Structure 1
Amino acid sequence: MPGLDVSRLRCGLLILLATLLGGCSSLSYYGQLATGQWQLLQAREPVADVIADPGRDPALRKHLALAQQARRFASETLHLPDNRSYRLYADIGRPFVVWNVFATDEFSLDPLSHCFPIAGCVAYRGYYSLGGARGEAALQRQAGKDVFVAGIEAYSTLGWFSDPILNTMLGWGDERLATLIFHELAHQRFYVKDDTAFNESYASFVEQEGTRQWRAARGLPAVRERRAGQREALTRLVLDTRQRLRALYTQPLPATLMRERKAAEFERLRQEYRALRDQQWPGDKRFDAWINAPLNNAKLLPFGLYEQWVPAFAGLFAQVNRDWPAFYARVEQLGKLAPTERQAALQALIPIAPVTPITP
């Protein structure tokens, strides 16, 4: 557009983002969020242009072409938003798009939450640079907190911007990239503030059922990934550990004894994992690095939230005869309920064992 003042536009966007994200944290924190998102937006280019350019990496072009088939399937068959998201590509030149910093008190499993007007309250703070995340982690450790820093390959802006396929996502393989597109577009279709378990379980169900239909549409057999079963087994061990720790932290023990018993629970987790690995996955050490690294409360926070209510959404999908528009309409009805009513309604959709609500 002739005469467009790009610097002023950029400044306006930073102010807009700070307003949208607003809250009580420092201006510098929101400044890095706004700058990071702006840089990501600036790196975007149409996927169609990359695919059509013979000078680009052939493997990248093939990968993106397959991703666009999944993108069309998402809108045409799964009735997910039909917009520019994941029809753009951005190479941001680093292995993760953001680094999330999780923190808890030393003897608590409750996260230090951070609340934003759009996304609601979340159990972490995100940084667009590893240095920024490490700086925040150091401050939290100085305050006596348990801290964990996790690199994140992708995130959703919930439809506020056209989210691109990132170079950070390309190492997952074609099918995993497709499932991520289904998952993130599900968040764009519907999102409830302050209910991570609901949002992630809903999007995980759309991802899983969408992948089954995506494979069937291409004449591929249904596959239960062996590694998915391994992740489920590890998750169960972690959730059991979290339950024991939660009980431990309610006891009136002196800090020294509490630390000893806390360390013993983490060592029990390691021993149970090794026994499970050696009995069921001999020679497979894919989780060894995670389990052998330092463990603390914060490192356990992400487990379980993505799967908690998946069986409920599967039951809901069956109730509406596997009709996607009807399914989304019912999901929106659930999202309008008060939190306790929502949990009760989700529980009623599961015909077998009751689900224990997971607090991150």
Structure 2
Amino acid sequence: MLATLLLAGCRTLGYYAHVGHGQLALMAQRQPVAALIADDATDPALRSRLGELHDARAFASDRLGLPRNGSYTSYVVLPGPYVTWNVFAAPEFSVEPVTHCFPVAGCVAYRGYFDAAKARREAGRLQRLGYQTYIGGVSAYSTLGWFDDPLLSSMFAPGQDDPVGVMFHELVHQWLYLRDDTAFNESLASFVQRQGLREWRQARNQPPPDPALGAHEKAFIGRALALRERLAAIYRRPITHEAMRERRAAAIAAFRRWHAEARRTHWPDDPRFDRWVSEPIDNAKLVPLGLYDQWVPAFATLFRQSGSDWQAFRSQVESLAAQPRAARDDGLQALLPAAPAD
């Protein structure tokens, strides 16, 4: 690894130094969850949340078969709603992301920063090179088992996903992680996050997630992915860049019209995606959707075919993961349900 770093150049060395310092600083702030739960001085609301996550951590291993280790047995208080910021980039006429390669994680479609200002500077640098960029705040991340990852206060921030599901998501990366296949890794983790959370709530006699909210999210992501595919088709056509820009603008406008009508007729009380739609939409902004959701329906099909049995599902996923990339993608494509008609 040292040889790799020495050959990487000053900018990359600076990035590794930033990430290493941020990770070590985070680990130095850990407090044992068990001690916080037992401490009468701990805020009652926090004690309740940590107690639930302590139980969910056992559920993750006992029921879902996720790694049983020291991850998520400690807690860190952060100053804001995010622990890192991911910078995504894509060319103006492609929906394929700019990738960054690292010695352990392989090639991924983003660069993560512990400092928002550094993320903005990196986005500016990429924009000057002609790329479109998008910065997304992150409430949790995985070190792939190299460290015992802690629970973070950012996981409890308003607007974040249920922290139990987020913990399941990150533990999946410790179970199975394929170098250079972010879409597989993130889609698998996203499926386990959602299915695991449903089963966790059922086991505790808690109500399932609101089906209307789930339907809205599914419809929105489906339309956004369809927009991504529409843009990809536009960029493949033998037309001028100006014509591509015009057709891209028309496709994005049509997506916004769909969202406005869907909000009016189906989800008038659910504004979760309004800001995402109202702010600029470009290729880079669509990258995370393609990575985190592309194969989720395929994994859902595989889970059903496995009899909704987690051990059988994990075995099927591991067999799929052992295949060459092209065969793996073909297998996932075959598991996707037919796209709904407009």
Q: Give the TM-score, by structure 2 length.
A: 0.90
| 1:240 is aligned to 2:212 | no
Shift of residue 283, structure 1, vs aligned partner: 4.5
Mapped contact 1:235–1:304 kept (Cα < 8 A): no
Q: How does 1:1-360 map to 2 (within 5 A)?
A: 26-171=12-157, 176-349=162-335, 352-353=337-338
1:278-324 superposed Cα distances (whole Å, 9 cap, x missing partner) = 12112433322111112211111111433333343334334444433
Which residue type is aligned with residue 190 of structure 2? S
Give the counterpart letter for 1:258 in structure 2: M
| Matched AA of 1:162 | D
1:222 Cα deviation after fit: 4.2
Long gaps (5+) in structure 2:
none
Deviations 1:146-202 (Å, cap 9, x if unpaired)?
111111111111111111110100136998111111121121111111222222222
CA separation of 1:349 and 1:111: change in aligned 2, threshold 3 A: closer
Count of aligned pairs between the two proteins: 339
Q: C-alpha separation between the residues in 1 aligned to 2:5 and 2:61?
A: 28
Moved more, 87-96 or 341-350: 341-350
1:248-298 superposed Cα distances (whole Å, 9 cap, x missing partner): 222344434433332232222222211221121124333221111122111
CA RMSD of aligned residues (A): 2.6
Per the alignment, residue 4 of structure 1 pairs with: none
**Is the 2:144–2:173 Cα contact (8 Å) retained in structure 1?**
yes
What TM-score comes out, normalization by structure 1 length? 0.86
Provide the secondary structure at the position in 1 that maps to 2:133: strand
Q: Secondary structure at the match of 1:215?
A: helix
CA contact (8 A) 2:87 2:110 kept: yes
Contact 1:197 1:309 in 2 (8 A): yes
For 1:315 and 1:245, how far apart are their aligned partners in 2? 27
Tell me, yes or no, if the aligned pair for 1:46 and 1:87 is still in contact at 8 Å.
yes
- Deviation (angstroms), 1:348: 4.4
| Structure showing greater Rg | 1
Q: Which amino acid aligns with 2:136?
A: A
Q: After alignment, is 179-188 or 206-215 more displaced?
A: 206-215
Q: Is contact 2:155-2:161 (8 Å) kept?
A: no
Question: Matched residues in 1 for 2:55 and 2:171: separation?
Answer: 15
The C-alpha deviation readout for 1:229-252, integer Å capped at 9, x for no partner, is 212211122122222211222234
Change in Cα spacing, 1:209 to 1:199, as seen in structure 2 (3 Å) is same
Conserved in 2, the CA contact under 8 Å of 1:216 and 1:222?
Answer: yes
For the structure 1 residues 294 and 109, does the alpha-carbon distance in structure 2 shift closer, same or farther, using more than 3 Å as the test? same
Residues 20 and 118, structure 1, Cα contact 8 Å, conserved in 2: no
Q: Distance in 1 between matches of 2:300 and 2:28?
A: 39
Question: Match for 1:73: what amino acid?
Answer: F
Cα shift readout 1:99-137 (whole Å, capped 9, x = no counterpart): 111111111111110012322211111111011001011
User: Percent identity at matched positions?
Assistant: 47
Equivalent-residue separation in structure 1 for 2:281 and 2:230 (angstroms) = 15
Q: In the superposition, relative to structure 1, how do residues 150 and 307 fare at CA in structure 2: closer, same or farther (>3 Å)?
A: closer
SS in 2 for 1:270: helix
Alpha-carbon distance in structure 2 between the residues aligned to 1:46 and 1:21: 37
Deviation at 1:349, TM superposition (A): 4.5
Secondary structure, aligned partner of 1:262: helix
Give the stretch that moved more between structures: 221-230 or 96-105: 221-230
Deviation, structure 1 residue 326: 3.2
Shift of 1:98: 0.6
Higher mean Cα deviation, 79-88 or 227-236? Answer: 227-236
Q: 1:7 corresponds to which residue? A: none
For the Cα contact (< 8 Å) 1:102–1:112, is it kept in 2? yes
Quick one: distance in 2 between partners of 1:260 and 1:349?
35
| Amino acid paired to 2:96 | D
Instruction: Provide the secondary structure at the position in 1 that maps to 2:314.
Output: helix
Q: Which amino acid aligns with 1:116?
A: F
